[in-house]
């Protein structure tokens, strides 16, 4: 029997049937008079997902990395000073990009398993009375270590120092699954991609930008750019078009995904992710294992990076789950390679699916020599889901005979 591997990597995530079918349609003409009827409402609906109070959203035919680059290229100049922190593979890669694009990075190098160091940021910003720092960067959800950082806290640090720097946030594995309040938190560039909370294939870099970021761009900010240049997109996007051939099929899928998000409601989506993540964390506890995230305040509701016990290679657990139990888990990256395996629990997901992945993990752990008791993790998750189920979902009333 051939069954597609059950996908529990932290993106690309599972694609709901409605989204898949919305893309399984004949190609459409991206220069027709009809096309803006599809695209213009999408730009507006995306603003709701990012909870923006002003600004606009760009959609690039790229992955999230393209949106990272676009944020920098369109607002900052070579040689500009920026404040960044590095505590996992994705925050590391953003630092690497900033340096390669010629920014002067003031870097907080943090232990992997922690997140954005708010006190250090506050201190550095308070001392920067000449306002040399032009942008502060924060990785909302570090997918490599399963760490969520406090973006409201970064805003507080900026405000306390009365610092005018822009705030750039990587929420590739956050937006659409975790709360992102761009307007309230004063986020100026928020980076995302299609393949995580938006439940689409990879291929769209989604970048939400504030009016302040647009003003910085208009005032001559930025560095040489072409493919990801905001000005070209603004000119065409305003009319519902793109400066080059857009990924029409993915955009059709995005329409369906935004409809699903609206139907469920953002707050319900966040609550669902929190509940499912709690189920995974209950299982991790029951197995006697630890998360890579050092403290509960860092726990991510979209991905859990789980430390393999001393002497056990986490890559072996991932391989065993894949080949023996047809289940894809995330591997450990860079510094935590061989030390952690990751369960992605974001996007289109429910208790049944979480139960399934925990079932596979439990068996793979045992195969790899971890002394887990079958039913311990799955049982703990079931206990949690069962004891909280009535609060989460009302049963339909029985019809009178």
Binding positions for ligand PLP, rule: CB under 6 A: 11, 63-65, 90, 139, 141, 143, 170, 172-173, 193, 202
Nearer to ligand PLP, 191 or 364 (CB): 191
CB of 146 to ligand PLP, least distance (A): 11
- What single string gives the DSSP state of each residue in 298-334? GB-SSEEEEEPPTT--HHHHHHHHHHHH-EEEBPP-G
- Closer by beta carbon to ligand PLP, 193 or else 221: 193
* Distance of closest approach, residue 390 Cβ to ligand PLP, in angstroms: 34
Q: Which is nearer to ligand PLP, 60 or 287 (CB)?
A: 60
| Strand-pair category, 104-109 with 81-86 | parallel
What is the Cα–Cα distance from 57 to 74, expressed in whole angstroms? 14
| Nearer to ligand PLP among residue 65 and residue 376 (C-beta) | 65
Per the listing, tokens 């209950």 go with 282
Q: How far is CA 122 from the centre of its chain?
A: 25
Q: What is the distance between the alpha carbons of residues 129 and 118, in angstroms, rounded to a whole number?
A: 18
Q: Which is nearer to ligand PLP, 63 or 236 (CB)?
A: 63
- CB of 67 or CB of 166, closer to ligand PLP: 67
Tell me whether residue 291 or residue 381 sits nearer to ligand PLP (CB atom): 291
Smallest distance, ligand PLP to C-beta of residue 311, A: 29
Shortest separation between residue 228's beta carbon and ligand PLP, angstroms? 13
* Residue 10 CB, nearest approach to ligand PLP (Å): 7
The per-residue DSSP string of 274-290 comes to HHHHHHHHHHHHHTT-E
Task: Report which DSSP code applies to 54.
Answer: S
Q: How far apart are alpha carbons 340 and 362 in whole angstroms?
A: 15
The residue with its CB nearest to ligand PLP is 64
d(CA 197, CA 200): 8
What is the closest distance, in whole angstroms, from the C-beta atom of residue 198 to ligand PLP in the complex? Answer: 11
Look up residue 182 and give its two tokens. 């761009």
Per the CB < 8 A criterion, the answer to whether 276 and 43 are in contact is no
CB of 373 to ligand PLP, least distance (A): 33
Q: Quick count: other Cβ atoms within 10 Å of Cβ 41? A: 13
């Amino acid at each position: 029997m051939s069954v597609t591997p059950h996908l529990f990597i932290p993106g690309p995530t599972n694609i709901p049937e409605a989204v898949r079918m919305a893309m399984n349609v004949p190609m459409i003409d991206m220069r027709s008079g009809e096309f803006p009827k599809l695209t213009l409402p999408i730009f507006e609906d995306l603003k709701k997902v990012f909870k923006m109070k002003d600004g606009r959203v760009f959609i690039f035919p790229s992955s999230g990395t393209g949106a990272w680059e676009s944020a920098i290229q369109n607002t900052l100049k070579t040689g500009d000073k920026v404040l960044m922190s590095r505590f996992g593979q994705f925050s590391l890669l953003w630092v690497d990009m900033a340096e390669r694009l010629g920014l002067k990075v003031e870097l907080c190098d943090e232990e992997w398993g922690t997140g954005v160091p708010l006190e250090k940021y506050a201190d550095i910003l308070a001392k920067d009375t000449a306002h040399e720092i032009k942008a502060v960067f924060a990785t909302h959800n570090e997918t490599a270590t399963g760490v969520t950082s406090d973006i409201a806290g970064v805003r507080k640090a900026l405000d306390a120092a009365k610092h005018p720097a822009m705030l750039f946030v990587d929420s590739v594995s956050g937006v659409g699954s975790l709360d992102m309040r761009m307007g309230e938190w004063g986020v100026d560039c928020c980076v995302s991609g299609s393949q995580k909370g938006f439940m689409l294939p990879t291929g769209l870099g989604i970048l939400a930008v504030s009016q302040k970021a647009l003003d910085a761009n208009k005032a001559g900010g930025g560095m040489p750019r072409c493919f990801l240049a905001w000005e070209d997109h603004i000119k065409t996007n305003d009319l519902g078009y793109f400066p080059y051939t857009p990924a029409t099929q993915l955009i059709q899928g995005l329409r369906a995904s935004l409809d699903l998000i609206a139907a469920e409601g953002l707050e319900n989506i966040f609550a669902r992710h929190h509940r499912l993540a709690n189920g995974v964390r209950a299982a991790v506890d029951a197995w006697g294992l630890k998360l890579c995230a050092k403290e509960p305040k860092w726990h991510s509701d979209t991905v859990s990076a789980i430390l393999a016990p001393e002497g056990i290679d986490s890559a072996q657990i991932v391989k065993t789950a894949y080949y023996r139990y047809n289940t894809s888990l995330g591997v450990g990256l860079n510094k935590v390679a061989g030390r952690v395996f990751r369960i992605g629990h974001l996007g289109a997901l429910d208790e049944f699916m979480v139960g399934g992945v925990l079932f596979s993990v439990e068996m793979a752990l045992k195969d790899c020599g971890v002394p887990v008791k079958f039913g311990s993790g799955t049982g703990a998750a079931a206990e949690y889901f069962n004891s909280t189920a009535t609060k989460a979902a009302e049963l339909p009333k029985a019809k009178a005979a």
